[in-house]
C-alpha cells in the first residue's frame, strides 16, 4: 500500500499546518516588544502615549471656536470697557475703545453670554458656539436709569448683594436657599435645588423649539393642553440682577459651587419691587453667584 495520502487528506493536513502558522507568527510579532530591554520598552510605550496625547490635543484645538463681537449703546456708538462673560466657559474679556471684543479657544456648545458696563443696564443672550468656526455677535446696552455706585472691591460687592438677600429672607416672603444648604445637599446641577420648592415645577424638555431644563410656576398660567395636561407658566430667571432670556435653560446656569444663594417667588403677588418688570405674572427665580457677573 502506497504511503501517499489521498488528495483530500493532504489538503486537510496542509490546512491545519497553515492555520497553526498564523498564531505562531502573531505571537512572534506580539513578543517583538517584549524582546526589547525593559528600558527600551518603557521608552517606546511613553513615545506612543505622547503621540496619542498630542493627537488628542490637536483634535481638541481644532474643535475650539472664536467669538468675535461688538458692544454699542442705543445710538450705535461703540462702548469700551464693557465686561463680556461667557458663563460656564471660563471666558471673560473687556471691550476695547472701539467696542470690540474677541474670545479665543472657546469650546463648542450652548452658553449664556452676559454684557455689563457701569452706567448701563446689563444684557444677556444665549449663544450657540460652533466647532472650529467663528461666531460673530453684537449687543446693545441702554443707559441705566439709576446710576451705579463707584467701583468696589469684590468682597464688599458680594457682601452687599447677600446682605440684601438676607434682608428679604428675614421678611418671610418667598423661598430661599442659602450657601450652607447648597453645600450640605451637594447637588451637581443648580436646577436640582428648585425641585424642592413649593409651587414650582422643574422639567426637562426636548422639542424642536427647545431642549433643556425649565422652571414653571404652578400657581399661575392655569389651563390644559390638548392632551389634558395642565400647562404651567415659565418663571423669569434673574442672575446677579441680570434678567435672562425668556424660557431660559437652567442647564446654562453656573454650577452650585459658584452659587451664593437662590430666592424663589412663585407668584406675582410675592415678587419684591427690585425684581419687578412688564411681565412677572409667572414669578421670579433670582440666582446669586459668589463672585458676581
pLDDT of 214 higher than 70: yes
Interior angle at CA 250, CA 248 and CA 252, nearest 5: 95
Using one digit for the tens of pLDDT, what is the confidence trace for 87-104? Answer: 988 889 999 999 999 999
Using one digit for the tens of pLDDT, what is the confidence trace for 276-288? Answer: 887 788 999 999 9
pLDDT of 224 higher than 60: no
Buried b (16+ CB within 10 A) or exposed e, 178-214: bbeebeeeeeeebbbbbeebebbbbeeeeeeeeebbb
Predicted pLDDT of residue 13: 47
What's the grid cell of residue 289? 453667584
d(CA 80, CA 252): 27
pLDDT of 82 higher than 80: yes
Predicted pLDDT of residue 232: 72
- Per DSSP, 74 falls in state T
Query: Positive or negative CA dihedral for 169, 173, 179, 181?
Result: positive
Strand order through the sheet with 242-243: 175-178, 259-265, 284-289, 236-239, 242-243
d(CA 126, CA 119): 23
Predicted pLDDT of residue 147: 45
Buried b (16+ CB within 10 A) or exposed e, 80-100: eebbbbbbbbebebebeeebe
Asked whether the beta carbons of 93 and 103 are under 8 A apart, the reply is yes
Using one digit for the tens of pLDDT, what is the confidence trace for 157-166? Answer: 557 889 999 9
Predicted pLDDT of residue 228: 40
Cα 49 from chain centroid? 30
Predicted pLDDT of residue 100: 98
State the residue for C-alpha cell 458692544: 71
Predicted pLDDT of residue 191: 94
Torsion of CA 244, 242, 293, 90, to 10 degrees: 10
- Write down the mean pLDDT value for the chain: 80
User: Which segment, 25-29, 31-35, 219-223, 239-243, is predicted with the most confidence on average?
Assistant: 239-243
Mean pLDDT of all residues in 120-125: 94
Interior angle at CA 114, CA 112 and CA 119, nearest 5: 165
The conformational region for residue 12 under phi > 0 = left, psi -120 to 50 = alpha, else beta, is: alpha
Cβ neighbour number for residue 27 with a 10 Å cutoff: 10
Predicted pLDDT of residue 19: 45
Query: Which one, of 213, 212, 221, 224, lies nearest residue 280 by Cα?
Result: 221
Mean pLDDT of all residues in 106-110: 93
All residues at 6 or more sequence positions from 250 whose CB lies less than 8 Å from its CB, including other chains: 189, 190, 191, 194, 202, 212, 213, 214, 215, 237
What's the grid cell of residue 95? 471691550
Name which of 61-65, 142-146, 236-240 the model is least confident about.
Answer: 61-65
Query: Which one, of 99, 123, 104, 103, lies nearest residue 112 by Cα?
Result: 123
d(CA 250, CA 275): 18
d(CA 125, CA 135): 13
Name which of 118-122, 223-227, 270-274, 283-287 the model is least confident about.
Answer: 223-227
- Give the H/E segment covering residue 26: helix 7-34
Amino acid at each position: 500500500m502506497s504511503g501517499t495520502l489521498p488528495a483530500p487528506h493532504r489538503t486537510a493536513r496542509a490546512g491545519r499546518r497553515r492555520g497553526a502558522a498564523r498564531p505562531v507568527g502573531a505571537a512572534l510579532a506580539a513578543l517583538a516588544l517584549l524582546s526589547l530591554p525593559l528600558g527600551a520598552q518603557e521608552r517606546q510605550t511613553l513615545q506612543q502615549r505622547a503621540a496619542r496625547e498630542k493627537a488628542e490635543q490637536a483634535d481638541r484645538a481644532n474643535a475650539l471656536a472664536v467669538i468675535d463681537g461688538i458692544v454699542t449703546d442705543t445710538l450705535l456708538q461703540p462702548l469700551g470697557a464693557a465686561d463680556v462673560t461667557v458663563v460656564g466657559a471660563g471666558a471673560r474679556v473687556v471691550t476695547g475703545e472701539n467696542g470690540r471684543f474677541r474670545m479665543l479657544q472657546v469650546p463648542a456648545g450652548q452658553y449664556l453670554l452676559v454684557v455689563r458696563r457701569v452706567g448701563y443696564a446689563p444684557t444677556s443672550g444665549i449663544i450657540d458656539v460652533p466647532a472650529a468656526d467663528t461666531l460673530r455677535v453684537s449687543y446693545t446696552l441702554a443707559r441705566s436709569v439709576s446710576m451705579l455706585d463707584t467701583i468696589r472691591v469684590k468682597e464688599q460687592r458680594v457682601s452687599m448683594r447677600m446682605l440684601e438677600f438676607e434682608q428679604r429672607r428675614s421678611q418671610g416672603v418667598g423661598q430661599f436657599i442659602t450657601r450652607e444648604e447648597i453645600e450640605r445637599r451637594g447637588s451637581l446641577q443648580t436646577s436640582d435645588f428648585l425641585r424642592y420648592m413649593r409651587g414650582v415645577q422643574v422639567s426637562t424638555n426636548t422639542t424642536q423649539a427647545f431642549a433643556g431644563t425649565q422652571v414653571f410656576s404652578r400657581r399661575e398660567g392655569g389651563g390644559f393642553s390638548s392632551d389634558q395636561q395642565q400647562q404651567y407658566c415659565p418663571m423669569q430667571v434673574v442672575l446677579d440682577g441680570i434678567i435672562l432670556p425668556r424660557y431660559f435653560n437652567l442647564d446654562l446656569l453656573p454650577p452650585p459651587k459658584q452659587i451664593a444663594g437662590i430666592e424663589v417667588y412663585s407668584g406675582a403677588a410675592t415678587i419684591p419691587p427690585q425684581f419687578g418688570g412688564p411681565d412677572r405674572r409667572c414669578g421670579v427665580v433670582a440666582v446669586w453667584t459668589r463672585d458676581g457677573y
